[in-house]
Amino acid sequence: MTSRAVDRRATAASEELSTVDGLAQLSFLIHGTLERRAAERELSIIQTRLLGVLRDRKPTMNELAKVLMLDKSSISGLVDRAERRDLVVRVPSDADRRAVLVALTDRGRALVSDVAARFGADVSSLLDRLPASDRATLSRLVSRLLVAHAADRGIDLFAPTTTG
């Protein structure tokens, strides 16, 4: 039964959570952790993702829409609100005068680094509950899952990034 997965409670049926339920609960725990850390800096998850994408790219609005899987009109609003807070700037594209590039400001970069650092510390301290050997094992299994899943979609996680 995976039914408990949609709320966050444990089954008392067995002394160990089912793998599916456990993984689901852990996922919500970690997602909620990021949500909370972002909220402490007045960021929503989507604003945080926006800033995260911009850390190593200066995409057009259109490219942002594809990466974040949102309509271009949603990106307009998202970038508007981030720009109002001086977290990002719109820059006209040289190559195509219709296009607009979006870049992180220093303030935006500092903010996303801060959130990422505190979130990372949260996950680290969660992992610290396990002995080092278990951590290594967990890391290996999780990597395998991600690699297998990525392979299903024809993506090689470890290929040099071709900066979409």
Residues in touch with DNA (CB under 7 A): 44, 46-47, 60-63, 69-81, 90, 93, 96-101
The residue among 91 and 146 lying less far from a second copy, judged by its C-beta, is 146
Smallest separation, CB 28 to a second copy (Å) = 7
Query: How far is residue 8's CA from residue 21's CA, in Å, rounded to a whole number?
Result: 9
92 interacts with, out of a second copy, DNA, none, CB within 5 to 8 A per kind: none
If contact means CB under 5 to 8 A according to the sort of partner, which of DNA, a second copy, none does residue 129 touch? a second copy
How far apart CA 68 and CA 63 sit, in angstroms, is 9
Query: Would you list the DSSP string of 71-97?
Result: -HHHHHHHHHHHHHTTSEEEEE-SS-T
User: Contact between 25 and a second copy (CB under 8 A)?
Assistant: yes
| Binding partner at 7 among a second copy, DNA, none, C-beta below 5 to 8 Å by kind | a second copy
Of residues 98 and 131, the one with the C-beta less far from a second copy: 131
CA distance 19 to 7: 15
Q: Select the binding partner of residue 72 from a second copy, DNA, none (C-beta < 5 to 8 A, by kind).
A: DNA
164 vs 159: CA distance, rounded Å: 13
For residue 83, give the nearest of 110, 39, 51 by alpha carbon.
51
Q: Quick one: 91 or 136, whose CB is closer to a second copy? A: 136
